[in-house]
């Protein structure tokens, strides 16, 4: 929508976002070398601090975030780093294999399924208010990739737990709030628990002309879930077979029904969200082969470094 319509419909937009949150609750594109992305950094004390502002949905788009599932794991045939078709509500070969492994009842199979689990990422446009380590980023619009922990902070602001707390739309220019991103390293992982929203305010105390200029610099979010970002089922199956060095697994027809016993560690609930669910038909025994350790190649070392970098931002 236009900037004028954005301001006029500020309240109704919040209601629409709330409805979308309810849909999400009931239901990778790499940013490593993309200068459109902003990433927080840790200081010498292994702490990180920045102030950012989540921005409204870009002109012509409905949501101020994009949600993407992906897989990243290593097998005897190399690395499997691919976007999951479950993002766009289609069957995915890794999801189907993981379901078979999980439903086998064997602890060893469940452990394999955990290692091959989906990774959940969100993408939004942000305005950098303060970046102590890189002040040159302040006052600029970037894309920001984040995980479930920060997403939960957003939901908590929109749908607070206690009745004395006022819901806010964190993505609103006028009725939103700056987000104080606070990072600590806990057990080797980045922890965002101390992050919080500040008081409601107009972004930067800017006038409408300044806000419109910021709005004009937002990046498309629907691009993350366009069909072109996903390989076909057959292409993914071929890659999976190569990575695991196994015979092709039979495809399983699935139904849209939740199975809470199939854990998806990336979301803290069943592996089968409403878009990937257990089949009622019997499934064949998955092929399991002994994986012998072998010397890592340069490509594998590069992939491991890449995946470790992604893990830093997994919250």
pLDDT at residue 7 in the model:
76
User: What residues pair up with 245 in beta bridges, in sequence order?
Assistant: none
Q: What angle do CA 34, 83, 126 make, to 5 degrees?
A: 40
How many alpha carbons fall within 13 Å on the CB side of residue 241?
11
Longest Cα pair distance anywhere in the chain, in angstroms?
64
Task: List all residues 6 or more positions away from 3 whose beta carbon is below 8 Å from its beta carbon.
Answer: 208, 211, 212, 215, 216
If DSSP codes are grouped into helix, strand and coil, which group holds residue 180?
Answer: strand
Return the exposure string of 267-306: e unless at least 16 CB atoms fall within 10 Å of the residue's CB, then b.
eeebbbbebbbbbeeeeeebeeeeeeeeeeeeeeeebeee
Nearest Cα to 66, choosing from 86, 40, 41, 87? 87
What does pTM read for this prediction?
Answer: 0.72
Measured CA to CA, the distance from residue 262 to residue 194 in angstroms comes to: 30
> What string of pLDDT tens digits covers the 315 residues of the chain?
677 877 777 776 677 666 555 544 433 444 457 899 999 999 999 999 999 999 999 999 999 999 999 999 999 999 999 999 999 999 999 999 999 999 999 999 999 999 999 999 999 999 999 999 999 999 999 999 999 999 999 999 999 999 999 999 999 999 999 999 999 999 889 999 999 999 999 999 999 999 999 999 999 999 999 999 999 999 999 999 999 987 654 444 433 333 434 545 445 443 333 333 333 334 444 444 444 444 444 445 545 544 444 445 445
Residue 252 and residue 279 in contact, taking contact as beta carbons nearer than 8 Å: yes
User: What residues pair up with 200 in beta bridges, in sequence order?
Assistant: 177
Residue 70 and residue 79 in contact, taking contact as beta carbons nearer than 8 Å: no
**What domains, with CATH codes, occur in the chain?**
3-67+121-225 (3.90.198.10), 72-119+246-312 (no CATH)
């Amino acid at each position: 929508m236009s900037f004028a319509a954005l301001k006029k419909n500020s309240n109704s937009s919040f209601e629409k976002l709330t409805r979308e949150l309810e849909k999400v609750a009931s239901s990778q594109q790499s940013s490593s070398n993309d200068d459109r992305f902003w990433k927080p950094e840790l200081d010498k004390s292994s702490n990180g601090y920045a102030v950012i502002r989540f921005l409204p949905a870009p002109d012509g788009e409905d949501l101020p975030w994009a949600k993407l599932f992906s897989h990243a794991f290593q097998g005897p045939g190399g690395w499997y780093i691919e976007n999951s078709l479950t993002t766009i509500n289609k069957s995915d070969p890794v999801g189907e294999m993981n379901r078979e492994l999980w439903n086998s009842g064997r602890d060893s199979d469940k452990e394999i399924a955990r290692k091959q689990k989906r990774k959940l990422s969100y993408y939004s446009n942000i305005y950098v208010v303060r970046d102590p380590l890189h002040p040159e980023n302040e006052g600029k619009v970037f894309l920001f990739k984040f995980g479930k922990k920060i997403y939960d902070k957003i939901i908590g602001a929109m749908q607070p737990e206690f009745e004395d707390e006022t819901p806010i739309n964190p993505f609103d220019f006028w009725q939103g709030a700056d987000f104080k991103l606070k990072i600590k390293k806990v057990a080797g992982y980045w922890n965002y628990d101390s992050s919080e929203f500040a008081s409601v305010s107009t972004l930067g105390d800017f006038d409408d002309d300044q806000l419109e200029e910021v709005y004009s610099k937002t990046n498309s979010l629907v691009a993350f879930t366009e069909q072109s970002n996903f390989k076909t089922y057959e292409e993914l199956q071929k890659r999976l077979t190569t990575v695991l060095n196994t015979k092709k697994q039979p495809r399983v027809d699935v139904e849209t029904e939740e199975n809470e016993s199939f854990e998806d560690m990336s979301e803290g609930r069943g592996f089968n969200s409403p878009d990937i669910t257990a089949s009622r038909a019997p499934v064949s025994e998955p092929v399991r082969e002994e994986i012998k350790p072998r010397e890592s190649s340069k490509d594998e070392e590069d992939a491991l470094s890449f995946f470790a970098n992604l893990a830093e931002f997994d919250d």
